[in-house]
Structure 1
């Protein structure tokens, strides 16, 4: 009897210990911030290289001092300009800490789009629902804002701070960024994850400039198709967290949108209407406050060196 009970109890206890160890590691990895450097050959021939710092999915929560200090250090990279692809908050009280974290970076030229978590606070939900939604072909919030009673994030304060710093907001709009000796044409969309994107307001392809760049928070296929068909050479996005919990040797299980999991993070291409755009999806540097874990997918910022096409 003792042996029988010892076996039956020992296996669950072992699995529990293994699960606890994995969860502990995933919590540590979520704070193991790093910089990913990537070279993307998309510039016209003869144009000087551009160093672009992409920040995505900060999901700042009040008290995240390590994240705040790490973000401040990125100013030492001296990028040509900064791109913020949204989801800056996971706590409506964290706006001062977010702006303190980004303050040194706002000394550089920049541009930004917002994500759903800039507008609304997160809700506690079962993480398994992401897998279920993928299996059922559902993504996002079906075009509706969160239910009555959802937390309103003070996104207006973030917008005002960014624009006071001269960063160009791209909410279903176009803009231009002047660098030393260069002018960039920018086009961005509001978040497709909650169906705030309005591509018809910016359709028609990039304006004349030294280089053109497209931005969106969530890389939904309808948006990527439109940008690629309009011949944007480069699209930058975030939202996916790189899958957040990746399986070694397999990769991401979900992207939280209709983008395939093979492109959950990093550089790839997207083809539509006979034209291919380069696509870079950042794995981001934060998590939803209710799921503060990452596995095989450390938080990151991205230093993208744009070079002329070969």
Structure 2
């Protein structure tokens, strides 16, 4: 009888641990699509229903063989364009192959627009120069402190990319700490990139780090896409997660739509992990935003 009771306890513990391991694995590899509607009078008539699919923070991870799960799920969203908001690579477990396989498939689905993240900035400069050149050769629109436009008939929307170089400069200009930064470095760049764009024209910003929303908010910037926060990594009820880089514990900007004055920011929870290898109640996320005309 004692042996049976002991075996039952062992089997129970084993079953609980196995269930927990399977749940954590599912939390880290099961992709979810989150959809939002963005409505603004700045949306041109020809862009009514225009769909933007956001991917962020792949961190050199694989989702299926040759990224098949990621590519299939992205294709299902039927995007007009795809925006990638940084950390395609990971500095701690770098796989250029995983990242390039993802991109090679994404450019077959829709035009891809990309800004870099802090992990790309931490990798060897010469190797990254070659990597960025390879992205461009694949057809990716690399927006490092650049402006471009998407045309439909005779109407257009503007895309601006705030690079990680600019974000890093905003931190180091005043002595880098966990959260301090010089907002003028960012606002000066936003002013330069939006020069010549009217306030009645739709301007979309791609950037990596969401915690600078106060600096991103501008009368010429209507919609911002960001990532970086990994959804707070471990999400508990009524929280935005337990920790996010640049925000510390109990962060406020890790997912969803946030508004500051006339600027709306969409934050992706991202796909992969880096320093901390697990997510909890925080599945990898592909974000879809449909543009709608109206007030």
What is the TM-score with the length of structure 1 in the denominator? 0.72
Q: Structure 1: state its 5+ residue gaps.
A: 1-9, 122-150
Aligned to 2:273, the other structure's residue is in SS state: coil
Aligned to 1:88, the other structure's residue is in SS state: coil
Aligned to 1:97, the other structure's residue is in SS state: helix
Mapped pair 1:277 → 2:251? no
The equivalent of 1:307 in structure 2 is 292
Aligned to 2:95, the other structure's residue is in SS state: helix
Mapped pair 1:173 → 2:146? yes
- Give the Å deviation of 1:103: 1.8
- Give the Å deviation of 1:204: 5.3
- 8 Å contact 1:240–1:255 — kept in the other structure? yes
CA distance in 1, matches of 2:67, 2:89: 12
CA distance in 2, matches of 1:119, 1:249: 33
Mapped pair 1:82 → 2:82? yes
CA distance in 2, matches of 1:98, 1:24: 26
- Give the Å deviation of 1:76: 4.0
CA distance in 1, matches of 2:157, 2:135: 18
The equivalent of 1:214 in structure 2 is 205
Aligned length: 262
- Give the Å deviation of 1:65: 3.3
Equivalent residue for 2:40, pick from 35, 42, 47: 42
Kindly provide the CA deviation profile for residues 84-121 of structure 1, in whole angstroms up to 9, marking residues without a partner as x. Answer: 10101126752233222222321322311100112335
- 8 Å contact 2:121–2:165 — kept in the other structure? no
Aligned to 1:69, the other structure's residue is in SS state: helix
The equivalent of 1:70 in structure 2 is 69
The equivalent of 1:146 in structure 2 is none
The equivalent of 2:163 in structure 1 is 190
Over aligned residue pairs, what C-alpha RMSD do you find? Answer: 3.3
Mapped pair 1:245 → 2:234? yes
Equivalent residue for 2:191, pick from 179, 185, 203: 203
The equivalent of 2:107 in structure 1 is 106
Poorly superposed stretches of 4+, deviation over 6 Å: 16-20
The equivalent of 1:268 in structure 2 is 258
Kindly provide the CA deviation profile for residues 2-46 of structure 1, in whole angstroms up to 9, marking residues without a partner as x. Answer: xxxxxxxx9xx97x9978864653233101112111111135266
Mapped pair 1:161 → 2:161? no
Q: Structure 2: state its 5+ residue gaps.
A: 1-8, 171-184
* Distance 1:229-1:20 versus aligned 2 partners, 3 A rule: same
* Distance 1:71-1:175 versus aligned 2 partners, 3 A rule: same
Aligned to 1:57, the other structure's residue is in SS state: coil
Aligned to 1:250, the other structure's residue is in SS state: coil
> Which sits farther off after the overlay, 260-269 or 191-200?
191-200
* Distance 1:43-1:55 versus aligned 2 partners, 3 A rule: farther
CA distance in 2, matches of 1:153, 1:19: 45
